[in-house]
Chains A and B, each alone.
Chain A
Amino acid sequence: MEKLSIVNKLVLQGLLPVIFFNSQVKEKQTNYEIKKPNQINFSIEKINKKYLQKNLPDGHTNILTSKML
């Protein structure tokens, strides 16, 4: 709430656009969690399995990264 009131004050002082007033304040997400392919659709699980066999490093379980290796 304290951060929100600082932002609101900056809007009222004319230093930030009005859209910032009462903006959503959320805890920073440090690890971007990309949905695992098998949570997304029907065939990606099969495709991913093929790439997962290549011993992907920790945290690189998405199809994008696996295709790049």
Chain B
Amino acid sequence: MILILTTEEGDFSHPKFIDWLENLEANYLIISGEQISRGDVNFSIDDKNIYYNEINLTKEVKCVFYRRWFSSTKKTFTINKSFDNQVMKSLYSEMYEIRDFLFENLPKAIWYPSPKSVSVNKIEILKEAMNNELNVPKFLITNSKKRLIDFYTENDCSIITKAIGNLRIITFDEDTINPIYTKQVSRVLIDELSNNFFPSFFQRIIIKKIELRVLFFDDNFFTSAILSQENEMTMIDSRLYDEEIESRLVPYELKEEVKFKLIKMLKSLNINIGCIDIIIDEKGEYYFLEINPVGQISGYSERCFLNFEKKFIENLIKIDNGEIINC
């Protein structure tokens, strides 16, 4: 059996995978954390097995596709908001304990992504990329204004900042504050910072000719080129687009040498599925930026006719049928 773990909060990549599971008549089951928390189904763990209704997951599940688990969206239990927030945090933590147990206790299952890579450290990834001879734009994590000024000068006054890990959207009354987009850092901003500030990530800007979004599972790569330089808004972060003028996307074939280095890096990090961000500069040099093991897939796959979802589900079905034993 193929198990899909997801959340009802919204994961825009999952419907196409489910479509192909149906289309290819796979033996599959979808579980969300919310479904279990609400008691829509019977879910139990005893000293030997994990059960979903009458299904013994411990024995049945041959592969798992993990697409998140439980929403942290605030819910109303009482009229006291503070109480409700604390209850929600507590429930969230408890549900993630269950998920962590699933990670380790479906002995027959091959996981996508592998559990250890779900929360892989982004700095560790950059170091591993460099160990595998991939170009990585110079970066610095610091809380020191003096060190930041030196880094800014050393890198031709052209640097960006982004989150070190996965910063969450913050809710502020009826609004949300979203810190996920990469931003250029100006000297004016640096001058305004205090001598020591909250540790932040900075990186040299590489003037890009093309930006690549590489979807992959195991050794299979499906690449789209984002022509983000055509629009001023998307030059620093292609996700920040003008709704009327989206960046053009075209299929792209990675160089074999780059694929080889990526495969080596992914194996050493135990990452078997995800999205890789790469940029190519004006001289044609590749620069590795980051990997997201649970990234958004379907937009790129659909717009570039990559057919990632079908090929991935065919792979899961082969695992479920015993045609692939270990990846």
A and B from one complex: yes
Interface contact B200-A47, CB-CB below 8 Å: no
Instruction: Tell whether A18 pairs with B193 under 8 Å between CB atoms, given A28-B171, A43-B19.
Output: yes
A contact residues around B327 at 8 Å (CB)? none
Q: Which of B6, B19, B183 contacts A19 (CB 8 A)?
A: B183
Interface contact B161-A18, CB-CB below 8 Å: yes
Interface contact B10-A23, CB-CB below 8 Å: no
- Chain B interface main SS type: mixed
Interface residues of A in 1-27 (CB under 8 A from B): 3-4, 6-7, 11-27
A44: Cβ under 8 A from any B Cβ:
yes
Interface contact B174-A24, CB-CB below 8 Å: no
Interface centre among A18, A22, A26, A32 (most CB of B within 10 A): A18
Interface contact B30-A28, CB-CB below 8 Å: no
A contact residues around B167 at 8 Å (CB)? 17, 19
Nearest-neighbour CB distance to chain B for A63, whole angstroms, equals: 5
Interface contact B196-A14, CB-CB below 8 Å: yes
Cα–Cα distance between A45 and B127 once the two chains are bound (Å): 45
Interface contact A62-B198, CB-CB below 8 Å: no
Nearest-neighbour CB distance to chain B for A3, whole angstroms, equals: 5
Interface contact A34-B10, CB-CB below 8 Å: yes
Cα–Cα distance between A33 and B161 once the two chains are bound (Å): 31
Nearest-neighbour CB distance to chain B for A69, whole angstroms, equals: 8
Q: Which of A14, A23, A44 contacts B194 (CB 8 A)?
A: A14
Interface residues of A in 28-69 (CB under 8 A from B): 28-29, 32-35, 37, 40-41, 43-44, 47, 62-65, 67-68
For B298, give the chain A residue with the smallest CB separation. Answer: A40
Interface contact A64-B6, CB-CB below 8 Å: yes
A contact residues around B200 at 8 Å (CB)? 17-19
B contact residues around A25 at 8 Å (CB)? 172, 175-178
B contact residues around A18 at 8 Å (CB)? 161, 185, 189, 193, 197-198, 200, 202
B contact residues around A37 at 8 Å (CB)? 15, 19
B contact residues around A24 at 8 Å (CB)? 177-178, 181
What are the 6 tightest A-B residue pairs by CB atom distance, in nearest-first order?
A: A14-B197, A18-B200, A44-B19, A32-B10, A17-B200, A14-B194
- Can you list 17 A-B pairs, Cβ within 8 angstroms, ordered by A? A11-B193, A12-B192, A13-B194, A14-B197, A17-B163, A17-B200, A18-B161, A24-B177, A25-B178, A28-B175, A34-B12, A47-B19, A62-B15, A64-B15, A64-B30, A64-B32, A67-B18
- What residues of chain A have their CB less than 8 Å away from a CB belonging to chain B? 3-4, 6-7, 11-29, 32-35, 37, 40-41, 43-44, 47, 62-65, 67-68
A7-B177, A47-B23 known; 13 new pairs, CB 8 Å cut-off, are: A12-B197, A17-B163, A17-B164, A17-B167, A17-B201, A18-B161, A19-B163, A19-B167, A25-B175, A32-B73, A35-B15, A47-B19, A68-B40
